[in-house]
């Protein structure tokens, strides 16, 4: 059985490369992407869904729930990294890369705090998957997925992780060492719903 990591659908602020406030919704394209990934996951023998409760993740999880008949649970452990006072600001005008900063921005999380929370999220999802009779879908955010893949999964190579696309699927074996079986796959998207490669992946 597997843990299936799913990034949320596109948002208007992903496309305009803004660091997102917590209440950011999906765009029209993001809603269409959520329907596409839901149709794909409906054929993957899901036994459960757990999601970040931020609106962009919940809308994606609700589409998966509608396609599978499952009821998603939520946890704040799966929230995107909190960039505090930087949220709502254009990424490209900051003059530095906030996604790579180790210290906490004002009102936000440091990398150490964020990674400690992601470790708790991983423990939660592994325990939840173990209690189910099938695969677990985990709907979350770009930086969370990168942290899970970097620190809690075994990849076949040490190459730099790819950009995590909107509604991409990454699949981990449910048992240690949690080998990566599929990485950042968006083959469920067509030309009309494909994610924008320039959009912000995280934040």
Pinpoint the alpha helices (H) of the chain.
Answer: 12-15, 28-41, 55-68, 111-130, 142-151
* Residue 178 is a catalytic residue: no
Of how many residues is the chain composed? Answer: 203
pLDDT in tens, 36-64: 999 999 999 999 999 999 999 999 999 99
Q: Could you report the per-residue pLDDT of 150-169, keeping only the tens digit for each?
A: 999 999 887 888 889 999 99
Which residue in 79, 80, 109, 178 is the catalytic one? Answer: 80
Confirm whether 80 is a catalytic residue.
yes
- Whether pTM > 0.95 for this model: the answer is yes
Lookup result for tokens 């998966």? 64
> Where do the domains of the chain lie?
2-185
Classified by CATH at the fold level, domain 2-185 comes out as Rossmann fold (3.40.50)
- From 8, 152, 178, 195, the catalytic residue: 8
């Amino acid at each position: 059985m597997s843990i299936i990591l799913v990034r949320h659908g596109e948002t208007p602020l992903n496309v305009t490369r803004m660091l997102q406030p917590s209440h950011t919704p999906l765009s029209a394209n993001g809603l269409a992407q959520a329907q596409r990934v839901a149709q794909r996951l409906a054929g993957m023998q899901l036994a459960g869904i757990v999601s970040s409760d931020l609106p962009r993740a919940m809308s994606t999880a609700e589409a998966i729930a509608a396609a599978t008949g499952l009821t998603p649970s939520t946890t704040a452990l799966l929230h995107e990294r909190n960039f505090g006072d930087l949220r709502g600001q254009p990424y490209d005008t900051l003059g530095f890369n906030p996604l790579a900063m180790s210290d906490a921005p004002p009102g936000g999380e440091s990398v150490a705090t964020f990674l400690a929370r992601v470790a708790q999220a991983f423990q939660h999802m592994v325990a939840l998957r173990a209690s189910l009779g099938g695969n677990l879908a985990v709907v979350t955010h770009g930086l969370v997925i990168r942290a899970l893949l970097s620190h809690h999964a075994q990849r076949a190579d040490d190459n730099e992780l790819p950009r995590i696309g909107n509604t991409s699927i990454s699949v981990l074996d449910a048992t240690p060492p949690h080998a990566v079986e599929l990485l950042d796959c968006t083959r469920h998207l067509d030309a009309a719903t494909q994610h924008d490669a320039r959009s912000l992946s995280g934040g």
